[in-house]
A = this chain, B = another copy of it.
Amino acid sequence: MDQTAIKNTIFMRTLRRESCERPPIWLLRQAGRYMPEYRAIRQKVSFLELCRNSQLSAEVTVMAVDQLGVDAGIIFADILLPLDAMGVGLRFAAGDGPVIDRPVRASADVDGLPTFEPAEKIDYVLEAIRQFKKSRPECPLIGFAGAPFTLASYLIEGGSSRNFDKTKLFMHKESAAFHKLMAYLARLTVAYLSAQKSVGADCLMLFDSWVGSLSREDYEEYVLPHSQAIFEGIKGLAPAIHFGTNTGGIIDLMASAGGDVIGLDWRVGLADTWARTPSLQNKCVQGNLDPCLLFAEPELIAKRAKLLIDSVGGKPGYIFNLGHGILPGTPVEHVKGLVQFVKSYRPAKGAGAVTPESVGKI
């Protein structure tokens, strides 16, 4: 009964590329620091404590869905939780972002990484998914995981990075060990996403957030086979979203690697890219307002949202989103206003649509 209701939501219908009256909308990092209620919870618990607390994680997930009125939830969690389970010493240093105390620096470090069942070691995320689905059975829920390259970059750099030079050095100089690490992460990710599906996730998303730092050659040689293995591993379980930032130069390769939906950031023209990329033709596309735009006046936000929706021209399979996560300090009213606008705006079908024939630029 619930499954039928879920299947008929605008989010799930769009994932099947059915023609809908408007694009569904959800927002990357829709539960986060920009919300006063979230900050109040974070006064009491650390970020990792919040992630490990299934009840609080489910609550925060529900809070974002209810407050914003978005068409899907995304379970509150972090892509680095599998690294916590690996025992490499994951910490979130205040203001500094994630730190890995025992980074992967040599082939032996890769061999030393433990084999484990995500369903056991990251059970708190699964329990949060169960609780969300119990509380909001009619709302589609997105489960997610970090992609091998993005996880490997944290493991090798020991945290965030600007140039990913250590990661690339390891990739180029210790290619066999790098491939072994990527294959290990891919296997883990298949198991983790499958477990999320088994407890109720309606859609699975792979975050390859930093893959846009790579050249086409590096992506093809060192990353694509492993991302592909993940999409093959979860095939048929649930619709899958494949997302990265700065990916304008490799989006065709990412689409070839897999995913029913490709997430684009704001640095590319969404409708143009969709129209001119052969490997995107049978896929959905998600994106791509600049998160910084949410600081601007509501009139400009609505103007740009309208421009984006009009450019798609009612083409089935378009999911409205930002190009990356909502930034801390973003006015909550602006976020709510954007959701209301997208839910109420009805584009003229075909108006302003970009077709392969009309693409004159790039």
Contacts and interface: CB of A to CB of B under 8 A. Distances in A.
> Most chain-B CB neighbours within 10 Å: which of A290, A297, A323?
A290
Given A168-B292, A292-B165, A269 B249 contact: yes
Given A173-B296, A292-B163, A307-B217, A212 B362 contact: no
A361 interface: yes
A359 to B, nearest CB: 10
A307 to B, nearest CB: 7
Nearest to A252: B362
Contacts of A173: 295-297
Nearest to A328: B165
Given A172-B300, A215-B266, A295 B252 contact: no
30 contacts: A163-B291, A163-B327, A165-B327, A168-B292, A168-B293, A168-B295, A169-B292, A172-B295, A173-B296, A173-B297, A212-B267, A213-B267, A214-B267, A214-B290, A215-B266, A215-B267, A215-B289, A215-B293, A215-B304, A216-B269, A217-B307, A246-B248, A248-B248, A249-B362, A250-B267, A252-B362, A253-B361, A276-B362, A277-B362, A278-B361
A253 B361 CA distance: 9
A360 to B, nearest CB: 7
Nearest to A169: B295
A268 interface: yes
Ranked nearest first, the 9 interchain pairs of A and B with the lowest CB-CB distance are: A248-B248, A249-B268, A172-B296, A168-B292, A252-B362, A249-B267, A248-B249, A215-B266, A169-B295
Nearest to A249: B268
A47 B337 CA distance: 47
A251 interface: yes
A164 interface: yes
A172 to B, nearest CB: 4
A218 B290 contact: yes
